[in-house]
Every structure is written in structure tokens, then in C-alpha cells.
């Protein structure tokens, strides 16, 4: 145990009481809706935290990349989903290798990816479980319903692939017609569906509106951030991650500088803000350099941040902050209770 005030700034703190409450609350939300929960570990990248999520009732985890999944498999977690197109022979070889000793599901949205999975599974002499990602209004990856049905037929005929079902992100109620059309098409073709996997913190608030889902992947909820709060998906009291920072300059009456720049908070911005200062809700972090946060304090009342003062910043996007740091400090009260090494930091291939 170490008192928090002995930590250097900037340091990333995780309020353990809040994180534990977040883990329990999401599991309850999913249990109440009768939907299995598969936390997305991209938010914390820390096997100890994934184990807490599994102990709370999660059925497995989702990892965005193969290298991330390898870290968690080595830590003993063996129910893994990769909701991502894994493309290229070197990566699919690693994917098949992982699938050899874990229960793994990978997603695809094209014939190119499908062929890569099939070849890798054949080389490894395994049957790889795959799901097809459907396109949503987000217009990111994902197949149209007609392409998904064509891909499902090919998978169904492939000796080295098992058709596991459908994947969608975000699984908001607006995506329901697409899901229904795809499920109907699969049913008419006689192709069985094991899982329908949805995702997103926003979608987790609408589970009962999308009854087709059998499971959901959410990551951000474990720490929450300024974006989830501002979007109405969490409250400030549910923000477990804060960046402890020092006021290092007060060059003008209306501007102070904090020691947390883009190398600490990332460059992500939400509605013109790069973070939210807990002690000064009226202050606005309006710009970042690598090691400087520019704070407009013109809207603050008489009490204003002073040089040497320490403040807690809620980052805009927790998942990218994790990936910038070697260590997150688990705190309770005024003590550092756990030191979490970010084991999958930088595992982005
Ligand atoms: C494919 C996929 N599934 C699940 C999630 C988790 O959603 P959230 O970040 O809202 O927790 C994400 C987030 O980017 C994602 O890309």
C-alpha cells in the first residue's frame, strides 16, 4: 500500500470501488435482459480485470486484435472472440494457433477473409468458429444482408469453418430490421445460428429492444469516460478512471496549464473538450500539446486552480488512455491498493 499523494503526476488512477460497482451493474443489466455478457477487454487490456469480469458472470471476453487475444490466452482465459477481420497469412496462422488451444470465435465480412480463415484452419487441422459481421448505420466494416447470406452458405459448405452466427456493432434498436432480415434468410436456408453478438455501451441500455441478441460486448463501462457521461450512458460517479495531474503554469488570469498532454490523455476530443476536470466542472480543456493541457478557466467562480494544485481529469476516451500507459493504479480511499501492468499495451496487430 502506498498513499496516493506519493504517486507522480500524471498517473492514471482506477477507483476500485467504482470499477467493482460498474462490473457488477453491467452483469446485472445483462442477466436481467437474459443476454450473455462478453466484456470487450480493449478498454483495460489487463488480464486481472478480465478475470474479475468473468468471476462476476461473463461468458468469455472479446479482444479486438489477435496479439491482444494472445496475452489473455496466456493468462489463462480461454473463451475468446475477435470481432475483427483478421487479414493476412501471418495473422491467420496465429489466429488458428490460438484456436487450437482456446474456444475462439473470429468474425469476417468478406470472401477474402473467409478464404484466409479456411486456409489457416486447414493447415492447423482444426475447425474454426466464425461469425459474420453485418453492416450498420455506423458505416464501418460489415457485410450487407445479401452478402452475409452468401458468405454463410459458403461457410456452411466449408469443412474447416463452423458458422457460429452473426455479429453487429453497435447493436442499437435501429439495427434490428437488418438482424431480423439476416436471421430470416438463414432460417430459410436451413443454416443454424448459435450466437447473435451485439455491442456497445449505448446498446447495453436497449437490450430489451433487440431481443434477437444472445450476447453483448461492452468495454467502456468498466471505467467510463467523459464521452459516455456526456452521451448520457453513465454518470460522473461511475467514472473509475481519472488522470491525476498537476497545475504547472497559470500564465494568464483565464488560462492554466496541466502536466497531462496528448501523451497522457490521447488527442481524442469530444464536443471541443479533451477531458473533464472533476474539481472544476466549469473549466474546459480546449487544447493539448504532448505534455501540456490548456485549460480555459474563465467560467470558474472565485475558486480557481493554482500552480502546484493536483486535479483529477476524466479522459474523453478511456480505451486509448490505457494503451498509452504501462501501469494503472488501483486506488481505494487515499491508498494505492493494486498496481495493474497494462499487459496488452501496444498489442495492436
Ligand atoms: C466490435 C466492437 N464490439 C464492442 C465494442 C465495445 O463498445 P463500447 O466501446 O461502447 O464499450 C466495440 C468498441 O469499439 C467494438 O468496436
Chain segment 129-177, per-residue pLDDT in tens: 999 999 999 999 999 999 999 999 999 999 999 999 999 999 999 999 9
- pLDDT confidence bin for 349, thresholds 50/70/90: very high
In the chain, % of residues over pLDDT 90: 99
What is the pLDDT at residue 52?
98
* Overall residue count recorded for the chain in this entry: 349
pLDDT over 90 at 247, yes or no: yes
Query: 78-87 in b/e burial notation, b at 16+ Cβ within 10 A?
Result: ebbbbbbbbe
Instruction: For residues 79-86, give the mean pLDDT.
Output: 98
pLDDT over 90 at 228, yes or no: yes
The sign of the torsion formed by the CA atoms of 220, 226, 230, 234 equals: positive
Cβ(158)–Cβ(118) below 8 Å:
yes
The set of cell numbers assigned to 160 is 474447416
Nearest CA to ligand 1 atom 8: 200
How far apart are the C-alpha atoms of 164 and 155, rounded to whole Å?
Answer: 10
pLDDT over 90 at 301, yes or no: no
Q: How far is CA 47 from CA 62, 120, 330, 340, in A?
A: 12, 27, 14, 9
What is the pLDDT at residue 74?
98
E strand or H helix that includes residue 269: none
Instruction: For residues 285-309, give the mean pLDDT.
Output: 96
The set of cell numbers assigned to 31 is 442477466
pLDDT over 90 at 65, yes or no: yes
Nearest CA to ligand 1 atom 4: 199
Averaged pLDDT score across all residues of the chain: 98
Cβ(128)–Cβ(117) below 8 Å:
yes
* Ligand 1 centroid to residue 41 C-alpha, Å: 9
- For ligand 1, whether the C-beta of 39 sits within 6 Å is no
Burial class (CB in 10 A: 0-12, 13-18, 19+), 95: buried
> pLDDT tens across 115-131, in order?
999 999 999 999 999 99
Q: How far is CA 323 from the centre of its chain?
A: 11
What is the pLDDT at residue 302?
83
Pick from 241, 262, 255, 265: nearest CA to 305: 255
Instruction: For residues 174-181, give the mean pLDDT.
Output: 97
Instruction: For residues 91-113, give the mean pLDDT.
Output: 98
Q: Which atom of ligand 1 lies nearest, measured to the CA of 219? A: 11
pLDDT over 90 at 319, yes or no: yes
How far apart are the C-alpha atoms of 60 and 40, rounded to whole Å?
Answer: 9
DSSP H helices, 259-333, are: 262-265, 318-322
What is the pLDDT at residue 12?
98
> Is the previous residue joined to 81 through a cis bond, with omega within 30 degrees of 0?
no
Cβ(33)–Cβ(216) below 8 Å:
no
The set of cell numbers assigned to 236 is 460522473
273 DSSP 8-state letter: B
- For ligand 1, whether the C-beta of 26 sits within 6 Å is no
Identify which of 25, 217, 232 to mutate to test ligand 1's pocket (most ligand atoms within 8 A of the CB).
Answer: 217
Look up cell 493554482; give the residue.
306
* Ligand 1 centroid to residue 40 C-alpha, Å: 7
| HEC sequence for 87-145 | CCHHHHHHHHHHHHHCEEEEEECCHHHHHHHHHHHHHHCCCEEEEEEECCCCCCCCECH
* Ligand 1 centroid to residue 307 C-alpha, Å: 38
What is the pLDDT at residue 1?
86
- For ligand 1, whether the C-beta of 207 sits within 6 Å is no
Amino acid at each position: 500500500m502506498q498513499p496516493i499523494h506519493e504517486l507522480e503526476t500524471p498517473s492514471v488512477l482506477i477507483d476500485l470501488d467504482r470499477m467493482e460497482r460498474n462490473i457488477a451493474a453491467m452483469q446485472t443489466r445483462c442477466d436481467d435482459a437474459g443476454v450473455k455478457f462478453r466484456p470487450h477487454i480493449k478498454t483495460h487490456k489487463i488480464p486481472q480485470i478480465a478475470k474479475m469480469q468473468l468471476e462476476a458472470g461473463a461468458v468469455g471476453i472479446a479482444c479486438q486484435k489477435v496479439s491482444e487475444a494472445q496475452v489473455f490466452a496466456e493468462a489463462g482465459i480461454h473463451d475468446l472472440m475477435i470481432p475483427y477481420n483478421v487479414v493476412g497469412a501471418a495473422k491467420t496462422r496465429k489466429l488458428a494457433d490460438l484456436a487450437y488451444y482456446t474456444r475462439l470465435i473470429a468474425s469476417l465480412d468478406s470472401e477474402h477473409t473467409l478464404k484466409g480463415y479456411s486456409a489457416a484452419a486447414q493447415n492447423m487441422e482444426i475447425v474454426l468458429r466464425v461469425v459474420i459481421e453485418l453492416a450498420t448505420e455506423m458505416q464501418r466494416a460489415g457485410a450487407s444482408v445479401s452478402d452475409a447470406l452468401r458468405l454463410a452458405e459458403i461457410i456452411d459448405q466449408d469443412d474447416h469453418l463452423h458458422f457460429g452466427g452473426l455479429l453487429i456493432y453497435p447493436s442499437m434498436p435501429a439495427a434490428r430490421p437488418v438482424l431480423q432480415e439476416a436471421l430470416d434468410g438463414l432460417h430459410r436456408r436451413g443454416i443454424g445460428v448459435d450466437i447473435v453478438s451485439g455491442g456497445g455501451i449505448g446498446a447495453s441500455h436497449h437490450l430489451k429492444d433487440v431481443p434477437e441478441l444472445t450476447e453483448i460486448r461492452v468495454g467502456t463501462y468498466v471505467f467510463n469516460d467523459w464521452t459516455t457521461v456526456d452521451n448520457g450512458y453513465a454518470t460522473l460517479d461511475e467514472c473509475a478512471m481519472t488522470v491525476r495531474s498537476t497545475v504547472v503554469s497559470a500564465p494568464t488570469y483565464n488560462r492554466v496549464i496541466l502536466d497531462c498532454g496528448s501523451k497522457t490523455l490521447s488527442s481524442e476530443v469530444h464536443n471541443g473538450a479533451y477531458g473533464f476536470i472533476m474539481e472544476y466542472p466549469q473549466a474546459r480543456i480546449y487544447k493539448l500539446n504532448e505534455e501540456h493541457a490548456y485549460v480555459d478557466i474563465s467560467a470558474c467562480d472565485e475558486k480557481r486552480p493554482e500552480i502546484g494544485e493536483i486535479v483529477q481529469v476524466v479522459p474523453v476516451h478511456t480505451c486509448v488512455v490505457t494503451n498509452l500507459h504501462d501501469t494503472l493504479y488501483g486506488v481505494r480511499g487515499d491508498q494505492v491498493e493494486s498496481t495493474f501492468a497494462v499487459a496488452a499495451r501496444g498489442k495492436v496487430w
